Structure formats: structure tokens, C-alpha cells
Amino acid sequence: MIYDTHPDLASWTRTHTVVNEILNMINFDFEFEKAVDAILANIEKYTNCRGITVSEVDFSLSKKVIARSPQFKEEYENKDPLLSYPITLINNRVSHTLDVYNLEANTMPKKDAETLNLFRELLQQAVNKEATKRDPLTGLYSRAYFDSQLQTEIINAKPINRAIALLMIDIDHFKKVNDTYGHPVGDVVLEKVATVLKAVIDKKGFVSRYGGEELTVILPGIGKDEAINISEEIRSYISNLQIPINSGKNIKVTVSIGVSAFPEDAEEAYELLKASDEALYSAKNSGRNRVVAFSGTERAGLRKREEKVAVEERQTAPPPRFMIVKVEISPVLKDTMFDEPVNIKDVHISNNNIFLLDSLQSRVYIFNLSGELINTFGKKGEGTSENMIEPTSISVDREGWIWITDSGNHAVKVFDPLGKSILTISATIDEEGKPIPGTGKGCFNLPYSLMISDRDEVIVVERMNRRVQIFDRMGNFKTWTNIPQKMGSDLHRPDPVDICPDGYSGYLVLDTINSSLIHFSAENEAINFFGEFGSDEGKLVCVSAISYYPKWRDILSKDAKPIIVTAEMGDVNRIQFFTTEGDFIKSIDLSPFTEDTTIRPANIFCSDDGGIYIVPQLGSTILYLLKIK
């Protein structure tokens, strides 16, 4: 800590307490604006800096003030700051600045400079955490954040019957803009439209880039009539916008907007989204550059389209068995990408990033889907914080927190999206601050795998205690359940090594020694066993991992059950597909797909787009991607 030698112990203690409070704001229940306001207020309280702002810096290096300190004065508005500190993202791009306009006594004592630097680091953490929720081009919220926020708003609105409006916005003829002027101009158009949306909506709601040229706006507490007025303001503003392009020319674009409202048009998030999308469909079909609200006409049109789709599906319904046209396997990451020997133990895909857990160096490597290294963190060692010994499993929750089973330290470690340690879960800590094995609630003995449920519960499988423990996202213990033993004369005590969702609200645990899977309900009761030892199709041998397959509806008939994928190492070298009720579907032999090495899958992860990421048992390639077509 930089204040260890500070002569004023009382001042240091107060500052230390405030820093921890702001860290808690950043790590738990994060709201960017509140965190920034707290940082600015406390800079003025604990230093001689006065009149402070935080500004956003866009790609053209233009600055826009987004927050002002309590003692900021109007006279500072048109002045240059006395001090300006860059705030950078993980990729080193300057995204914000911390600007100071006045110093008491026109001087900066050393202790104030140190305190200011401490708060600047907190601001950098807040900015980077906020960036994980944003679309990098427009600065709007990402699709993942939109999905989560819409669901949250609906859940919060139901008990009090509060209105929520949802706007679905599409830039008209955007493809023509790209084809005529090029994608860089298309990017400018997206940025300009996003700027209009942020200005009009301001603090009334949440603006997101849904995908491509489609944008969304969530308006909590706003009914349909007011939402229509807001939409018309957006449409009118954009239609009169002059967008500069190359050679001093300007172009104009228009938007079509679909509007729906909760609870008037829908009671669930997916229904509300479907209603806005149908209204947008009507706006585009009736000439574009207009606002259409979901109504009886749109409802009838939606029903008619759904009936048509249902008829087409019945007419071309696939058989209820697995349909694979083609399987492709290609290397995604190679060991030449690493500066040191690695042993990849687990893989997780989240927010278009690949998270690799290295048990040899006790590190996490984060790559984008193009194979570029974004970040790495963690180190080998005993104790809490970033130290880990033979970590075995990794998962990422909806807020971007990274959860790891630190098996060698008998604990679960939690890191923020930047890789900073924020929590160690273990009810048994020795006098040296090191977790030790235990059997009580909240204690671990070789925690080996974990998953995040759709209820934001963290479910941890322990190998030695042969049980499942469940915690909330704050690390608070909720309950546990023992792993039952499958009945049979030749079976062993269970050896649980992996866990995955069941597609509903329950989960499955892999008992590798008995080649079986145990299906648990949402109430944590074992409701089914399936799996039989053997190398024949539909049986399991050397089974090492399981993963829920999110795109199961694309490869099964619509009335089928969710499916999971199993990975089997050794000479069997295959993955197999089962329903969560245990019905065998399909086996894929991985041997024909690689010429120079045998994959022998040690671990797998199925991404939301249907890709199956495979960690091989041996071989030079670190990670494979299997695609089913």
C-alpha cells in the first residue's frame, strides 16, 4: 500500500476505508455513473484538487465531459485543465481523461499526488469494467448486456406493474451505404446514429447495438404513447442529419423504428422483443423512415407469420434423430502463441472471448475469436488473491466475473473482467491466510468443476468430499447436496469431475469412475442416472468432460429434449451426444479429422453459436473448434 509510511494515520485510515467502499461499488452491483461520481467527490475531499471532470475520448480524439465534481465551476468550462491524466483500456487506447482545473495554493503535495493516483487507478478499473458491457465501435451497450438488462427490467417491473417500452431501430438501406461508400463510411454512420440516440435518450433508458445496423432502446417506466413520441424525435433528428464522408460530401440516412410496451403487448422479455421486431417489420414494409407501434394489426401479422412458419416446419420437419451434413475441425490456438509451456485444463467462451485456464503456470489467458491475446493473469502460489495451485475449471458470469476452482488451494477464486482478484471462497483459512481443506459448509476439499446457473447461483463440484455446494454471486453459502452412488455390484464410490446445465434449471454431474451422469433437479435432488461403461456407441469409457449444447434445436426435431456432449479420451477419441434424460443420439469419431496428431478430447465447451471447443489430451495444438453443418 502506498500509504504505509504516511505520518497521518487517521487520514490514511479514512482514505483506505473510502477506497474499499469504492472498490465494492465497482465489484458488486456496479453502476458506472455512481462509481465515477464517488471518485470525483472523494478526490476533492482527500486532496487539494478542485474542479475535476471525467471526459470521454472518441476515436477522433474529441473529448466530451461525462461527469463533474461537486466543486466544479462554470468558469472552468472554456479553460484548459491544469492537469490531465489519460485513462486507458486493456488494449492501451485512451478512452477517457481525468482533468483537474484548480489546485488550492497552486501546489500538489506528495501525499495528495499519491492519493490522486490511487483514485485514478480506481477510475481506470471502473472504465474498463464498463467497457466490457459496451460495443467498441459505437460505445452503446452490447447485445449481451441488452439481453441481461431487458430480462432484469421485466423481472423488476412485474411486482409493481411498471411500464417498459422497447424500441427496435434499423438503419434503412444500410447495406447500400456500405456497398456504395465502403465499410469505413458505414462505421461513421453507425457512430453518428448512436450519438443521436445517446443524446435523445440520455438517462431515460439503455441504448444498445443489437447487431449490425440494428439498435435497441429499453425505456423503464415509460408507456407506449411517450415511447412513440421519443421514437418520432429520434427518427426526425436522424432524417435531417448531415453525415460527412470523403471529399467533403455529406450523406443522409433514415431509420425505421418498431415500438412495443410491457405489459400491454407482452409479459416476457422474449415476447416484448418479438413484438418490437414485428412492429419494425411493418415499418420497413410500409415504406421505411417511420415509426410503427405494435398493435392488433401487427399482432395478427405476427400470428399469421408464425402459423406459416409452423406449417413449413411440419412440411419439412427433420426426423427426430441427429442430422449432421458436415463436420469440420480446425485449430484455433496453438502452443506457439504462448511464451512458456502450458497445460490447458479448461476452456470457456464468453462475450466473443476465449478464456483458457492453464493448470501448469496457474494462469488465465484471454484471446479474442481471431486468436489475439487480450489479457493474462494469475500466478502459481498458495493463499488467497491471485495465487493458484493447479486450477481445474473456469466459468464467466453475466457481469463478466471470472470464477475458477483453485483445487490445490481448496478454494474458489473470483476475478473481475480485468483479472483483478475480488473474492476467495473458503470457510477454512489458516493463521497464514491460506485456505485449507475442510468438510463443513463453505469449505472445500479438491473443488474440481463449477458452473453458473440461470439463477446466478454458483454450483461447485468437490471431488474428495463427493458433493455439490451452491453459493450466490457474493460468495455466500446457500446449500449442499451429496453425490449419490449409482447402484450396482461392480460400481465404485462416485468420482465427480465435471458439471453442466441441463437446459432447464437443473444440472448434470459427471461421475467419471462409474462412466455415468447424474441428473439433478432445480431443487438439487438426484432424479436420474444414465451411462454405461463400454466402447460401443452410446456407452462411455475414459469420459473426461460434459457440456450443454445450446443449439440443440438446430440439429434435432422441435419436440426433442435438450442435449449434452460428452468427451472421451484415450484410443476411443470421440464425442457423443445424449439427451439430458439419457437417450443416446450420435457419436462422432474425431480420428479422421487430424493427420499429424490424435485429439483425444480432455475437455470441451459448447458455445452459444453451436461451436464445440475441444482441449486435446496431447499434441501440439492447444485448442480445436468443431463445427456441425
Residue 215 and residue 185 share a domain: yes
Length of the chain in terms of residues written: 629
Q: What is the pLDDT of residue 194?
A: 93
Highest mean pLDDT among 178-192, 481-495, 544-558: 178-192
In a domain, 243, yes or no: yes
For the chain, the average pLDDT equals: 84
Task: Look at residue 317 and tell me whether its pLDDT is greater than 50.
Answer: no
The residue annotated as part of the active site, out of 44, 130, 153, 213, is: 213
**Same domain (yes/no): 508, 582:** yes
DSSP 3-state assignment of 372?
A: coil
Q: Could you tell me if residue 136 is inside a domain?
A: no
**Cell numbers of 403, please?**
470464477
Amino acid 203: pLDDT: 85
Q: Does 189 fall in a domain?
A: yes
- Higher-pLDDT residue of 599 and 308 is 599
Q: Does position 209 have pLDDT exceeding 90, yes or no?
A: yes
Asked which of 109-113, 301-305, 461-465 is least confident by mean pLDDT, the reply is 301-305
User: Do both 289 and 362 map to the same domain?
Assistant: no
Tell me which residue range forms the domain holding 49: 9-131
Please report whether residue 306 resides in a domain: no
With vertex at residue 368, the alpha carbon angle to CA 366 and CA 373, rounded to the nearest 5 degrees, is 50
Report the pLDDT value the prediction gives residue 103, as an integer from 0 to 100: 92
Q: Which of the residue ranges 204-208, 474-478, 594-598 has the most confident prediction, judged by mean pLDDT?
A: 204-208
**By CB neighbour count within 10 A (0-12 exposed, 13-18 middle, 19+ buried), where does 260 fall?**
buried
The pLDDT value given to residue 448: 94
Q: Distance between CA atoms of 19 and 15, rounded to whole angstroms?
A: 6
Domain shared by 69 and 213, yes or no: no
Indicate if 276 and 389 belong to the same structural domain: no
Q: Evaluate whether residue 158 is within a structural domain.
A: yes
Confidence of residue 325 (pLDDT cuts 50, 70, 90): very low
Amino acid at 152: T
Angstrom distance (rounded) from CA 569 to CA 573: 5
Q: Facing residues of 458 across strands?
A: 452, 471
Is the same domain home to 424 and 488? yes
pLDDT band at 9 (very low <50, low <70, confident <90, very high): very low
- Please state, for a pLDDT cut of 70, what percent of the chain lies above it: 86
Contact 408, 389 (CB under 8 A): yes
Q: What are the tens digits of pLDDT across the range 490-509?
A: 567 788 889 999 988 899 99
Per-residue cell: 485: 452412488
Residue 101 and residue 149 share a domain? no
Q: Whole-model pTM?
A: 0.53
pLDDT of residue 207: 95
Return the closest-CA partner of residue 186 out of 246, 257, 256: 246
Query: Locate cell 464445440: which residue?
Result: 612
Last residue within a domain, chosen from 131, 151, 177: 131
374-383, 391-400, 457-466, 478-487 — which is least confidently predicted?
478-487
Confidence of residue 2 (pLDDT cuts 50, 70, 90): very low
Greater confidence (620 vs 264) lies with: 264
> Is residue 246 scored above 80 in pLDDT?
no
The answer on pLDDT for 395 being more than 90 is: yes
Residue, of 386 and 394, whose pLDDT is higher: 394
Mean pLDDT for 564-585 is: 89
Least confident of 393-402, 449-458, 619-628: 619-628
Q: Is residue 303, in this structure, part of any structural domain at all?
A: no
pLDDT at 90 over 80: no
Tell me, yes or no, whether 230 and 347 share the same domain: no
* Greater model confidence, 28 or 119: 119
Determine the pLDDT at residue 314.
44
For residue 127, give the CATH number of its domain. Answer: 3.30.450.40
Nearest CA among 239, 167, 156, 244 for reference residue 210: 167
Q: What band does 301 get if pLDDT is binned at 50, 70 and 90?
A: low
- Residue 73 belongs to a domain: yes
Based on the domain organization, do 122 and 149 belong to the same domain?
no
Predicted confidence at residue 230, as pLDDT, reads 96
% of residues, the chain, pLDDT over 90: 41
Q: What tens digit of pLDDT does each residue of 48-85 get?
A: 999 999 998 876 678 889 999 999 999 998 899 999 99
Q: Which CATH number characterizes residue 206's domain?
A: 3.30.70.270
Using H for helix, E for strand and C for coil, what is the string for 375-414? Answer: EEECEECCCCCCEECCEEEEEECCCCCEEEEEHHHCEEEE
End residue of a domain, out of 131, 164, 180? 131
Under 8 Å between Cβ of 380 and 361: yes
Per-residue pLDDT, 7:
42
Residues 337 and 449 in one domain: yes
How many structural domains compose the chain? 3
What value does the mean pLDDT take over residues 158-167? 93
Annotation marks residue 457 as catalytic? no
Longest dimension (CA), the chain: 85
Cell numbers of 267, please? 409479459
Q: What is the CATH number of the domain that holds 367?
A: 2.120.10.30
Q: Is pLDDT above 80 for 142?
A: yes
Same domain, 366 and 230: no
**What pLDDT score was predicted for residue 280?**
93
Instruction: State whether 61 and 186 are in the same domain.
Output: no
Say if residue 263 is preceded by a cis peptide, omega within 30 of 0.
Answer: yes
Domain assignment present for residue 3? The answer is: no
Cβ atoms of 409 and 434 within 8 Å: the answer is yes
Q: Is the pLDDT of residue 3 over 60?
A: no
Q: Which cell numbers in the block locate residue 342?
A: 502450458
307 pLDDT above the threshold of 60: no
Of 249, 275, 297, the position where a domain reaches its end is: 297
pLDDT of amino acid 329: 52
